[in-house]
């Protein structure tokens, strides 16, 4: 029998209506840190391009691999005290790819739990424009890319009749790439048939990165409701 016979594939397109809170360190003495906030409601109007959000899972027996890809380009105005600079604008682009190898440590008819090790790769860039005030206007571009090791876990409970709850969390960074890198996801689910699972929940993801030897740092928190549909093959 083919090794693929017992293999399962899950594909999950999703929409994450995330607010984005950022603190960006700069080399400017008068503006060493620039803060920018985009609410979940305003996210769509601040998109600078086409976002992409999707996850997948491959599973065979107790072993699985979970992947997640995210691309979010946004732009927003930034506020200053209107003395040295008269406000400005920030373009922020976040690219993220997560991969976690999972092992099923609990497998019962109404519940399961997975634990795993993995990584998250980040590419983050910011274009900052500060309008002239008492000082001349400034334009800065800062970008960085790194990878973070992760510890992850997932728990699912099935209430019957297609209804269930799933909680997922991971934590990483540990100073290898970012100082800290974590996320939590909680979803309520309904499976109308064996090949489709609909999900509604909330996701919060944060990383804190400081480049070594440079005035470059990002502290980014993304959080908001998530809507997803998982297709099983």
* pLDDT the model gives residue 80: 67
CB atoms within 10 A of CB 15: 12
> What's the rounded Cα separation, in Å, for the pair 32 and 71?
27
For 191, counting Cβ atoms within 10 Å of its Cβ (0-12 exposed, 13-18 middle, 19+ buried), the class is middle
How many independent structural domains does the chain possess?
1
Each residue's pLDDT tens digit, 50-97: 889 999 999 999 999 999 999 988 776 666 666 666 777 777 788 999
| C-beta of residue 49 within 8 angstroms of C-beta of residue 92 | no
DSSP secondary structure letter of residue 18: -
Tens of pLDDT, residue by residue over 138-189, are 777 777 789 999 999 999 999 999 999 999 999 999 989 888 999 999 999 9
Evaluate if residue 46 carries a pLDDT over 80. Answer: no
Give the residue-averaged pLDDT of 12-38.
75
The burial class, CB within 10 Å (0-12 / 13-18 / 19+), for 185 is buried
pLDDT of residue 136: 73
pLDDT range class, residue 14, cuts 50, 70, 90 = very high
Residues 33 and 23: beta-carbon distance below 8 Å: yes
CATH of the domain at 164: 2.40.128.90
- pLDDT, tens only, 211-231: 766 666 778 888 999 999 999
CA terminus-to-terminus distance, the chain: 18
Q: Are 200 and 230 in contact (CB under 8 A)?
A: no
Closest CA to 122 of 96, 142, 91, 93: 96
> Please, which pLDDT band fits residue 21 given cuts at 50, 70 and 90?
confident
Instruction: Identify the DSSP state of 94.
Output: E
Indicate whether this model's pTM tops 0.75. Answer: yes
Tell me what pLDDT residue 4 has: 59
Sorted by sequence, the CB contacts under 8 Å of residue 231 that are 6+ apart come out as: 10, 11, 12, 195, 196
Residue 128: beta bridge partners?
90, 140
The boundaries of the domain holding residue 133 are 3-232
Q: How confident is the model at residue 5 (pLDDT cuts 50, 70, 90)?
A: low
pLDDT of residue 1: 39
> Distances in Å between the alpha carbon of 224 and those of 41, 61, 63, 181?
10, 33, 30, 17
Dihedrals φ, ψ of 227, to 5°? -125, 130
């Amino acid at each position: 029998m083919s090794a693929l016979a017992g293999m399962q594939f899950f594909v999950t397109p999703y929409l994450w209506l995330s607010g984005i809170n950022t603190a960006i360190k700069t080399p400017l003495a008068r503006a060493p840190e620039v803060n920018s906030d985009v609410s979940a409601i305003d996210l769509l109007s601040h998109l600078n391009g086409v976002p992409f959000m999707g996850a997948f899972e491959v599973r065979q027996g107790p072993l699985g691999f979970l992947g997640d890809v995210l691309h979010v380009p946004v732009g927003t105005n930034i506020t200053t005290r209107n003395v040295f600079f008269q406000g400005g604008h920030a373009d922020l682009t976040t690219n993220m790819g997560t991969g976690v190898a999972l092992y099923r440590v609990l497998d019962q008819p109404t519940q399961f739990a997975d634990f795993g090790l993995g990584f998250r790769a980040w590419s983050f860039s910011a274009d900052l424009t500060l309008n002239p005030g008492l000082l001349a206007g400034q334009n800065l571009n800062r970008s960085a890319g790194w990878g973070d090791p992760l510890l992850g876990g997932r728990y699912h409970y099935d209430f019957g009749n297609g209804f269930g709850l799933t909680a997922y969390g991971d934590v990483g960074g540990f100073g290898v790439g970012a100082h800290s890198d974590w996320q939590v996801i909680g979803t309520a689910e309904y499976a109308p048939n064996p090949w489709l699972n609909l999900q509604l929940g909330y996701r919060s993801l944060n990383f804190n990165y400081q480049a070594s030897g440079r005035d470059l740092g990002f502290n980014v928190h993304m959080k908001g409701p998530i809507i997803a549909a998982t297709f099983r093959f």
